[in-house]
Amino acid sequence: MRAFVLTAPGAYEVQDLPAPVAAPGEVVVDVERVGVCGTDMEFFTGAMAYLHQGHSSYPLRPGHEWCGRVAAVGDGVDPEWTGRRVMGDTMLGCGRCRRCLRGAQHVCEKRQEVGIRGGRAGALAEQLAVPAASLHALPDSVDAVLGALVEPGGNALRAARATAAHAGDRVLVLGAGTIGLLVALFVRAGGAEVHLLDRPGNSPAFPHSLGFEHVWDEGSLPQLPFDAVVDASNAIHLPRRALELVEPGGRVVYIGLAGEPSLVDTRRLVLKDVSAVGVLSASPGLDATIRAYASGTVDPRPLVAATVGLDEVGPVLAGGRPAGAGPGPKVHVSPRGVEAAG
């Protein structure tokens, strides 16, 4: 099979590799669609923290936002999985520790992460091997574009739920990239008024096209009471700003990650009686995300600007924009060729 492999910071190859074999408890999936994520770009540059913490190393095959069809099952796996369209959880816990046994495998100390951590190969390839326990079936109403958006959507849904926002509340989302816009879509579906903070100089045209009227930058942000603030940015100063902007008694949700430590004044947190929540993983939100997509409650397909083949992944990771790309922030990959993407 063909696979995209990072061999060093800024270095990559599309290699011909042996096709995976379904080990006991695992399945092999014919990969249909993969999303390119900011984490993949950090591996490309060498900035990803796991590289420096010993959790990851080159060569590395990225890709954790994926969907596909089960091609083969290993011993101990229900054969009815064969032929089913699926996506999979990124976080693969050990299954034995206290955290896993309490249903928190996404924070297992010994976890693997598909395409990210622990040597578990990712989905930027024609085929992928994953544990059957990590699979989530996709209904026919969730097409390939939506299927590869379930994983980021699960993160966003968890962040939206963490705001505890109700109809009539006002929520500010810091960052108008893929995760920020997904959070905004889920918050809006719950009936709250959504405001977006984008980088200075960015056009509000795309968020407006999604129906978000209130799009600001730091210079134009109005002085309004925000019942919840979600930091979905990678800016070092915005975690502190989120705490400054939220109403007393409100909630701050942190899902973005800066490249360096951010400072939050816990005195302000206490004196404003604010609840702060961190969101790491999509794991607890995957099934609810699939239901939201299947019902049409949330439709994030406009976020995908282009679909490319494996040979075009490197320039995308380097920050390039595919020719003819639309205005959305997300690029998808069809490992079997764009013609196969449908």
Q: Mean pLDDT, to the nearest integer, of 25-53?
A: 96
pLDDT of residue 259: 84
pTM of structure? 0.95
Is the fold of 2-149+300-341 the same as that of 156-278? Answer: no
- Which residues fall within 8 angstroms of residue 65, CB to CB, at 6 or more apart? 34, 35, 36, 37, 123, 148, 149, 150, 151, 152
pLDDT band of 244, cuts 50, 70, 90: very high
- As a dihedral over the C-alpha atoms of residue 159, residue 163, residue 164, residue 167, rounded to 10 degrees, the angle is -110
Q: 184: closest CA among 275, 328, 300?
A: 300
For domain 2-149+300-341, the CATH superfamily is Medium-chain alcohol dehydrogenases, catalytic domain (3.90.180.10)
pLDDT of residue 174: 98
The amino acid that residue 208 corresponds to is H
pLDDT of residue 96: 95
Q: 313: closest CA among 80, 89, 44?
A: 44
Domain extents in the chain: 2-149+300-341, 156-278
Tally of CA atoms within 13 A in the half-sphere of 126 that contains its CB = 14
Dump pLDDT digits (tens) for 127-178: 999 999 999 999 999 999 999 999 999 999 999 999 999 999 999 999 999 9
- Asked whether the beta carbons of 227 and 191 are under 8 A apart, the reply is no
CA end-to-end span of the chain:
20
Tokens of 215: 């799009």
Render 248-298 in DSSP notation, one character per residue: EEEEEEE----SS-----HHHHHHTT-EEEE---SGGGHHHHHHHHHHTS-
Dump pLDDT digits (tens) for 307-316: 999 999 999 9
Backbone angles phi, psi at 304, to 5 degrees: -85, 115
pLDDT band of 339, cuts 50, 70, 90: low
β strands within 39-126, DSSP E: 65-73, 85-88, 91-92, 112-113
Q: 69: closest CA among 175, 142, 164, 178?
A: 142
pLDDT of residue 337: 82
CATH T-level fold of 156-278: Rossmann fold (3.40.50)
Q: Mean pLDDT, to the nearest integer, of 24-46?
A: 97
